[in-house]
Amino acid sequence: MQFHQDVTLVILAGGQGSRLGGLEKAWITWQGESIIQRLITAFAPLCNEVVISCNREFARYQALGYKTCQDNPTYQYAGPLAGILAAAPLVKTKYLLLLPCDCPQPPPNLLFKLHAALSKSKATAAYAHDGERDQYLFCLVETMALSTLQPYLESGDRSVRGWLAKGDVIPVDFSESGESFRNINTPKDLEIIQGH
């Protein structure tokens, strides 16, 4: 299945995993494969390029064979927006698809639905809504919107929601596949998801 609508896949893998004792979540194995490899297998074929934004185990991520970046020291571990800012210079396509590294099975139609919604609107970003809550890190963003990111971080703000709200952004309904957004943040999450 091909897509290639001028999209760069940006995988956000720069967290400290503090609630999991420092575990690097991207390398957690689920159904015999690491989360990051699952994301690459599912979404890289649909995109023009892949960028992995990480802070630890840099060489291990580089070994996957894709563009890799680290947070600017000014914003290191300042949250997902720091990871997006680090990736920004490597994105040469019209869009970037954001995916967090702590969710092993995003909906396979994620990119298609986000792109379709964005194409029909004047918005600069479209994010998933799982039927109960907004999933801001499952988001398709027009690359030109990244110009507001550094000033936003320099102001001291760290909220992904707040940054997206600076532009035109639309939610996209994924309530039919809400379970696909289950992520791993705590030991209990890890126990539940590895039981599936």
- Give mean pLDDT, residues 107-127: 95
User: Does residue 122 have a pLDDT over 70?
Assistant: yes
User: Does residue 146 have a pLDDT over 70?
Assistant: yes
- Give mean pLDDT, residues 68-85: 87
User: Does residue 182 have a pLDDT over 90?
Assistant: no
Q: What is the pLDDT of residue 51?
A: 98
Distance (Å) of CA 72 to CA 59, 173, 189: 17, 34, 30
Residue 192, amino acid = I
User: Does residue 196 have a pLDDT over 90?
Assistant: no
- Strands across the sheet containing 95-100: 67-69, 49-54, 7-13, 95-100, 134-142, 125-129, 169-173
Pick the residue with more confidence: 187 or 149? 149
Q: What is the pLDDT of residue 62?
A: 95
Tens of pLDDT, residues 159-179:
999 999 989 999 999 999 988
Tens of pLDDT, residues 25-55:
899 888 889 999 999 999 999 999 999 999 8
Q: What is the pLDDT of residue 20?
A: 47
